[in-house]
Copies of this chain bind each other. A is one copy, B any other.
Amino acid sequence: MSKLKIGLVQQAVANNDKQISWERTAKEVTALAQQGCQLVMLQELHSTLYFCQEENTDYFDLAEPIPGPATDFFGHLAESLDIVLVTSLFEKRSAGLYHNTAVVFDGDKGMVGKYRKMHIPDDPGFYEKFYFTPGDMGFEPIQTSVGKLGLLVCWDQWYPEAARLMAMAGAEILLYPTAIGWDKTDTPEEQKRQHDAWFTIQRAHAVANSLPVIVANRTGFEASPQAGEPGIEFWGQSFIAGPQGEVLALAASDKEENLMVELDMARCESVRRIWPYFRDRRIDAYDDLLKRWRD
């Protein structure tokens, strides 16, 4: 299959009512499928507010098992639309053991794989290390009827290692559901640098691996539950880039939006033929990549 129509849904989230969220999301996914999308991706933790703005044990109630209500809902949706659907949820694996997990459904094949976020951030307003155990499934692409998906989540996007391992395992697309935004107390210049860094490094994963990259980011302002904290202005700007990092579609920063692109999957190989980075990796000299630091 040389042509692949893909889409993503960029959303603002108003509360933690999952049922309402799922119905809203299903409407957008359906619209994309009706326009011919064979693969649709949702943003990170799309069912609820970004609850990691504080460390609060009550929020573990938002988690659910796999399979569970969320995977039932989106599994049925993917089947009814006959598409590949990439979702994200707060996974309860056991009491006291939770993950930030992306799940892939493939038409009537149902759930064909999941990825547990491997790199977990923790900084003011993004207290993820309290909630999410780092993934223990490694960097393994998920085979679907539209190709092998190199699915990663948010903080993973800062790690060239993660994208590389997915590419080396045969991933044909890199996918990043994400939830990142601005602290409004930062200067506009700092906000611009942060967004540019995020945009640049993910486009660079496309370049380094000659693969398309899809990024679905949250939009809208979510106040902090803690008095005096600035909250997060999620910066949207979801995008789809081709295998040279070229931007094929870009969403607004401040509103909900769907993106849709028809990828020419044959271009990935033609890019790799002329600039064949994998031919020349110096694997004889990379041992220290497995160290914490070279000291």
Contact = CB atoms under 8 A, between A and B. Distances in A.
A278 to B, nearest CB: 7
A193 B242 CA distance: 10
Interface in A163-202: 164-165, 168-170, 193-194, 196-197, 200-201
A119 to B, nearest CB: 5
A61 interface: no
Contacts of A208: 158-160, 201
Interface residues of A, number: 54
Contact of A193 (B120, B244, B288): B244
B244 A194 contact: yes
Copies of this chain in the oligomer: 2
A291 B284 CA distance: 9
A27 interface: no
Contacts of A1: none
A155 B294 contact: no
Interface in A243-295: 244-246, 274-278, 280-283, 285-295
Nearest to A140: B294
11 contacts: A118-B282, A120-B280, A123-B274, A134-B282, A160-B161, A161-B289, A197-B246, A200-B200, A200-B203, A286-B290, A289-B290
Given A159-B277, A289-B289, 6 more contacts: A123-B276, A158-B275, A161-B289, A201-B207, A278-B292, A286-B289
